[in-house]
Amino acid sequence: MNVERQAAVALKWTGVAKLCSQLVSWAITLIVLRLLAPEDYGLMALVSVVISFLMTLSEMGLGSSIVQVQQLGKEELARVNGLVVALNVGACLILVACAPLVAHVFREQRLAELVRVASLQFLLGALATIPQSLAYRKMRFKWLALIDMASVVAGGLCTLALAWRGAGVWALVLGSLVQSSVRTALLLRDGWVRPVFAGEGMRRHLGYGGAVAASRLLWQIVVQSDVLIAGRYLPSAAVGLYAVSVHVATMPMQKIMGIVNQVAFPTIARLQTELPRLRDGLLTASRLLTFVSVGALWGLSSVAPEFVRVVLGSQWDAAVYPLQAICLIVPLRMLGAIFTTAVLGLGRGDLDLRNSATNVMVLPIAFYIGVQWGPDGLATASVVAVPITFVANFPGLARTLGITLREVLASVWAPLLAGALMVASVTAARGAASGLGDALRLPLLIVLGAAIYLGVALTLDKRIRPEIRRLVAAL
C-alpha cells in the first residue's frame, strides 16, 4: 500500500472515530455549559494554561522525534522512555510544590488545590508517550482512533455526571483526568517499553526534540497568552466568557487539525525525498481545508447571536462578539498549522522555532493592549495580530516547501469569497427576519448561509467537487 493510500485509510478511521466521539462530546459540552457558570470555566482555563506549559517541557518533543527518525533500535527507545519518565515525574513534583505560587500569581486561592490534582496528568503522560508515538510511527490510526473515541466519551460522561451533581469546576478537572486515564490504559494494552535511565545515544533525539519542544513552548506562550493576560487583569467570570468563546470557535479547528496532523506528520515524514509530490498534496489539502473551515466557522460567526442565545443560554450573551471575531480568524490559523506540520515532517524544527519566536513577539503585545477592553478587546486583538504573524512567517515556509503565496491564494480564493458573501447575506436576512424568534431564525439563517456558500464556492472553483469525490473514493 503506497503512502497516499495509507493516509487515506488513516483519515477514514480517524475521521469516523472523531466524528462519533465528538458528536457525543459536543452534546455533553453544550449541556455542561448550561450547568456550570462562566467562573468555573475561567478557573479551568487557568489550570489548563499551567498544565499545557509544563506538558510541553515534560515531553521535550521526544514523541515527535520517535515518529520522525528513520531508524530506531530497542535499546535507544528504552533510553528515550527513561528520559520521558524522568521529565514527567519531575514536572508533576514541581507543579505540586508550586501550586500556591500559581494561586498567588492569579489572585485565586482555589487554584492551588485544582492544580495539585491536575498534576496527575504528568504521571499518565509518563506511561502513554512512548506507546502513543510508536502507534503513530506504525501508522496504526484505526487503533488510535478507537482509543480516542473511548477516552473522549468516558471523560465527557464523567464531566456531565459531576456537573449534574453540582461539582462546579471539579467536574471539568476530574473529567479531564478520567479521559487521560482511559486513554493511557488502552495505549498500554500493546505493552510498555521498559525505561533505561542513561544519556547515551540521546543527542539526535534531544537535538530535534529540543527544537520542537522550544517551538511548542513558544507556541504555548502565544496561544495561551490571551488567557494568561486575562487571568491577571480580568475577573474569573470574564475569563470564563472569553475562554468559552475561544473554545467554541476553535473546537472545529482542534478536532479537524487533530485528525489531519495525526495523519499528515508521519505521512510527510515518509515523503521527505519527494517534494513535488508533497507540494501538490499540500495545495490540495489547503483548498479542501479552507473550503471546510470557512464554511463552518464563518457560518458560525454569522449566526453567533442566535447560536449563543438558543444553544448556550442567556448567561453567555456577552460571548457573542468574541465568538464572532475569533471564528473569522481560525481558518487562517488552520492553514498555517498544516504548513507548520509539513516543515516539521521534513525535519525543519529550527524553522518552526523561528516562526514561533515571531509569534511570541507579536501576539502577547496585541493581547496586552486588547485586554484593556475586556473579552471583546482580546478577540479583536486576535483578528489583527494573526494575519500579521502569518504574513511574517510565510516566506520561510514557502522556501522550504517550494510553495508561493500566489499558489496558496489560487487554492483558497473561492472559499474566501463565498464565505464573505455568506456572511453578508445572513446579516441582511437577519434584519428581514427580525420579527421571528431566535429558535426559528437560527435554522433559517443556517440553511440560507449554507446554500449560498456551497453554491458560490463550488461554482467559482471547479476543482473542489472532484477533489472531494476523490477523497471520498479513497476513503
d(CA 368, CA 372): 7
Identify which of 316, 330, 294, 331 has the alpha carbon closest to the alpha carbon of residue 423: 294
- Identity of the residue numbered 133: S
pTM for the whole structure: 0.68
pLDDT tens per residue across span 178-216: 999 998 898 888 767 676 666 666 666 666 666 666 766
Identify whether the C-beta of residue 344 lies closer than 8 Å to the C-beta of residue 265. yes
Could you tell me the sign of the dihedral formed by the alpha carbons of 285, 288, 289, 290, in that order? positive
Mean pLDDT is lowest, of 65-69, 167-171, 210-214, 417-421, for 65-69
CB half-sphere exposure, 449, CA atoms < 13 A: 27
Average pLDDT, integer, range 333-338: 85
pLDDT tens per residue across span 120-158: 988 888 888 778 777 776 667 777 778 888 888 899 899
Identify which of 278, 253, 251 has the alpha carbon closest to the alpha carbon of residue 264: 278
Res 60 pLDDT > 70: no
Identify which of 260, 100, 295 has the alpha carbon closest to the alpha carbon of residue 268: 260
Q: What is the maximal distance between C-alpha atoms in the chain?
A: 72
Residue 437 burial (C-beta neighbours within 10 Å; 0-12, 13-18, 19+)? exposed
Phi-psi region of 473 (alpha: psi -120 to 50; beta: other; left: phi over 0): alpha
Secondary element (H or E) of residue 62: helix 62-68
CB-based burial, 204-218: b 16+ in 10 Å, e otherwise: ebbebbbbbbbbbbb
Q: Taking the CA atoms of the chain, what radius of gyration do you get in angstroms?
A: 22
Identify whether the C-beta of residue 16 lies closer than 8 Å to the C-beta of residue 145. yes
Identify whether the C-beta of residue 208 lies closer than 8 Å to the C-beta of residue 347. yes
Secondary element (H or E) of residue 234: none
Confidence of residue 269 (pLDDT cuts 50, 70, 90): very low
pLDDT tens per residue across span 209-237: 666 667 667 777 777 788 888 888 888 88
Q: Which three cell numbers stand for residue 161?
A: 455526571
Secondary element (H or E) of residue 367: helix 349-370
pLDDT tens per residue across span 21-36: 667 777 787 788 888 8
Q: Which three cell numbers stand for residue 449?
A: 448561509
For residue 166, CA distances in Å to 160, 169, 358 come to: 10, 9, 43
Confidence of residue 373 (pLDDT cuts 50, 70, 90): very high
d(CA 210, CA 202): 11
For residue 242, CA distances in Å to 1, 66, 259, 323, 342 come to: 46, 36, 26, 8, 31
